[in-house]
Amino acid sequence: MRGEPTASPRVPEENLKFTLKRYSALPGFGISMGFTVFYLSLIVLIPLSTIFFKAFGLGWEHFAQAVTSARTLTALRLSFGTSLVSALINACFGLLVAWVLVRYDFPGKKLVDAFVDFPFALPTAVAGIALTALYSQNGWVGKHLYAMGIQSAYSPFGITIALIFIGLPFVVRTVEPVLQNLESEVEEAASSLGANRWQIFRMIIFPTIAPALITGTAMAFSRAIGEYGSVVFIAGNMPMKTEIAPLLIMTKLEQYDYAGATAIAGVMLAVSFVMLLALNLLQAWGRKNESL
């Protein structure tokens, strides 16, 4: 499976020594690896490292001051809160959509399945203005919500709506393949032993898809924290009220407060990396669970 030279005609001696790279008869390692490392450093690693150099350069006191200001803390709390709520809503509905798409047949199913990816394909700015128009006071949905006393635009409610939109495909697309590969024998066995559908779902299906469900939810959450384009229009961007963390970075940049922008970016990056690590562990757990 791996790039192991199983078909290699001879095993040279260097294979017996400790080497960073195993011997291979295939050409092109030097040039492809060289370009990979060069381009990766140039586009990703060097630019990204400037955040950490700059953040460390600030000194602890300055950094802490920028991060613990009331405005920053409020923005971070709002970002994490709305991201969590939207990810949980996507977990419920994403599971339902995946279930319906895998298990049932209905007219137009293929089209619906294709359109689940729409939030990935649609530029975020378009999503932002469309949702704002829908949920503002005169919008198709907004006018009903406002009549009920819910301020649906320029509020945390609106931010959550936008985050549900952009996170929608994650749960569906992670749960779908696992549901598809589910063996029906176990369900049949449980059914013949007298379990009802709900028991089968709760005790057999759900534990199997749980890792994928959690992975998808974590992905939606992680995407939501950094999201900018679809949120900035519907948020209204009032400091201390509807100002999300990415927007605060933007505001600080426009005021040439590079230190403040870097400090917030440093915190958000640290959170992203922790999420990335958690996701890698989750996926490893999922693979183990599936192969059982």
Partner 1 sequence: MAGIVGGKLGLSGRAVHRPFLSEPRWVRVLLIAIALGFLGFFLALPIAMVLAQALKKGFVFFLGALTDPMAMSAIRLTLIVAAVSVPLNLLFGLASSWAITKFDFWGKKFLITLIDLPFSVSPVISGLIFVLLFGAQGPLGTWLGDHNIKIIFSVPGIILATLFVTFPFVARELIPLMESQGTEGEYAAVTLGANGWQTFWMVTLPNIKWGLLYGVILCNARAMGEFGAVSVVSGHIRGQTNTIPLHVEILYNEYNFTAAFAVASVLMLLAFVTLLLKQWVEWQAGREAVLAEKEIAGS
Subset of residues 75 to 134 that bind partner 1, contact rule: CB under 8 A:
93, 96-97, 99-106, 110, 112-127, 129-131, 133-134
Q: How far is the CB of 210 from partner 1 (least distance, A)?
A: 17
The 241-270 site mask, x for binding partner 1 (CB under 8 A), equals -----xx-xx--x----x--xx--x--xx-
* Site membership for partner 1, residue 1 (CB under 8 A): yes
Of 72, 82, 155, 222, the residue at the interface with partner 1 (CB under 8 A) is: 222
Q: How far apart are CA 159 and CA 86, in angstroms?
A: 9
Q: How far is the CB of 202 from partner 1 (least distance, A)?
A: 13
- Closer to partner 1 by Cβ: residue 64 or 188: 188
- For the bound state, the minimum distance from the C-beta of residue 216 to partner 1, rounded and expressed in Å, comes to 8
Query: Of 78 and 219, which CB lies nearer to partner 1 in the complex structure?
Result: 219
What values do phi and psi take at 123, rounded to 5? -55, 140
Burial (Cβ within 10 Å: 0-12, 13-18, ≥19) of residue 290: middle
Please, what is the minimum distance in Å from the beta carbon of residue 45 to partner 1?
7
Check residue 44 and report its DSSP letter: I
Amino acid identity at 248: L
Of 59, 73, 137, 140, the one binding partner 1 (CB under 8 A) is 140
Q: 26-45: which residues touch partner 1 (CB under 8 A)?
A: 26-29, 31-33, 35-36, 39-40, 43-45
Task: Compute the distance between CA of residue 27 and CA of residue 105 in angstroms, rounded to an integer.
Answer: 49
Contacting residues for 104 by C-beta, under 8 A, at least 6 apart: none
Whichever of 77 and 197 has its CB closer to partner 1, that residue is 197
- Quick one: tokens of 243? 């100002």
Q: How far is the CB of 173 from partner 1 (least distance, A)?
A: 4
158 burial type by CB count under 10 A (0-12 exposed, 13-18 middle, 19+ buried): buried
| Binding map of partner 1 across residues 174-193, x = CB under 8 A, - = no contact | x--x--x---x--xx--x--
Give CA–CA dist 227/159, Å, rounded.
10
Size, binding site for partner 1 by CB under 8 A: 110
Taking the complex as a whole, how short is the minimal distance between the CB of residue 133 and partner 1, in angstroms? 5
Rounded to whole angstroms, what are the CA distances from 37 to 2, 43, 275? Answer: 21, 10, 24
Out of 71, 236, 279, 285, the only residue in the binding site for partner 1 (CB under 8 A) is 279
Site residues for partner 1, 141-160, by CB under 8 A, read: 141
Measured CA distances, 1 to 4, 5, 33, 113, 188 (Å): 7, 10, 20, 31, 33
